[in-house]
Amino acid sequence: MKKITILSAVAGLTILAAAAVQAQAGGALAALRGYAGAPAQDAPVTKAEVAGGFTKGYVEPVEPAAPIEYITIPGGKFTMGTTSIEEGFEDAKPVHEMAIKTFAMAKTAVTVAQYAECVINGACTEPDTGGYCNWGKTGRGDHPVNCVDWNQAQQYAKFKGARLPSEAEFEYAATSGGKNQKYPWGNEKPTSELAVFNTGITMPVCSRPKGNTAQGLCDMAGNVYQWVQDKYQDSYEGAPVDGSALEVTGVNRVMRGGSFYDNDTRNLRADCRWWGGYSVRYDVVGLRLVR
């Protein structure tokens, strides 16, 4: 369970304290969402049956979707995890050598407009609305879609003929191809020019190009956390070493990358792990595709 202090409406709250209150609400990020001004949700919200399962008013104002641009990430070996003794990184151990095959990763997180295409075609269900959710808000077409659960991320990936990255692939890509660095851009401490964090609102994707990886991936730290394929366990014991996703029993899935809501820059580190229930829609979590 994370113990990293986060921005909270109640001064002094930590992830540990919040998680203790909401441990049954779907995972570590349920607490974060609960203190982000909107109640945590244990299950998807039922939408009105309109025009094939989506509410047209949420879709019509959305700008035309830009095509998903993929960037090839050459394979290689890297050391995954951390030896840090900092609180909050206990589950990122033990460090282990990982062999990654070449893959292609989307340059950006999936945007509202891109996700709307799937909804309009009846292949995806709608995200949640209200609060910090971008769905249904005018002018958010180029913002990352959020308030989607892991199951919805799977629906969208299938619609696009792609998949979610494994946790290993995400960390490898977030360190510019497995380099020994904490953040996508290097080891420089995050600033507002490098990442979208501590803002209280998402920003258009790729709005912080100085924080891109060496390969050109945007927002691998900040803006929204991103679902990955792996089921969560509290260590890397028994994790695959070939870059594939860990599939074990349990309902919790991993998300990576940090968000607009974080004020603790450690949350943006490439080796920082979060988890949450696969059917919970968090307002700080979106998705990115690989193939």
Q: pLDDT digit string (tens) for 243-288?
A: 999 998 889 999 999 999 999 999 999 999 999 999 999 999 999 9
Q: Distance between CA atoms of 84 and 93, rounded to whole angstroms?
A: 9
Identify whether the C-beta of residue 82 lies closer than 8 Å to the C-beta of residue 271.
Answer: yes
Read off the pLDDT band of 2 (50, 70, 90).
very low
Is residue 291 predicted with pLDDT exceeding 90?
yes
Q: Which residues contact 275 (CB under 8 A, 6 or more apart)?
A: 27, 28, 29, 232, 252, 253, 254, 255
Read off the pLDDT band of 62 (50, 70, 90).
low
Domain that holds residue 222: 44-291
Share of the chain above pLDDT 70, in %: 78
Strands (E) in 58-129, as ranges, are 70-73, 76-80, 96-100, 103-106
The predicted pLDDT at position 1 comes to 32
The answer to whether residue 33 is domain-embedded is no
178: amino acid identity, one letter: G
Report the DSSP beta bridge partners of residue 97: 79
Query: What is the total count of domains within the chain?
Result: 1
The answer to whether residue 23 is domain-embedded is no
Strand pairing category for 285-287 and 225-231: parallel
Q: What is the mean pLDDT of the chain?
A: 84
Is residue 45 predicted with pLDDT exceeding 70?
no
The answer to whether residue 53 is domain-embedded is yes
Least confident of 50-59, 67-76, 251-260: 50-59
The answer to whether residue 110 is domain-embedded is yes
- 231: helix, coil or strand? strand
Is residue 13 predicted with pLDDT exceeding 50?
no
* Confidence (pTM): 0.82
The predicted pLDDT at position 267 comes to 96
Mean pLDDT of 167-195: 98
Q: Which residue has tokens 């295409």? A: 117
The answer to whether residue 21 is domain-embedded is no
Q: Which residue has the higher pLDDT, 1 or 254?
A: 254
Least confident of 6-10, 111-115, 154-158, 244-248: 6-10
CATH code of residue 93: 3.90.1580.10
Is residue 59 predicted with pLDDT exceeding 60?
no
Q: Which residue has the higher pLDDT, 169 or 59?
A: 169
The answer to whether residue 14 is domain-embedded is no
Q: Which residue has the higher pLDDT, 155 or 33?
A: 155
Least confident of 11-25, 87-101, 242-256, 267-281: 11-25
- Report helix angle 150-159 to 112-120, nearest 10: 70
The answer to whether residue 105 is domain-embedded is yes
The predicted pLDDT at position 58 comes to 55
Q: Distance between CA atoms of 282 and 51, rounded to whole angstroms?
A: 25
The answer to whether residue 36 is domain-embedded is no
Read off the pLDDT band of 63 (50, 70, 90).
low
Q: Distance between CA atoms of 183 and 92, rounded to whole angstroms?
A: 15
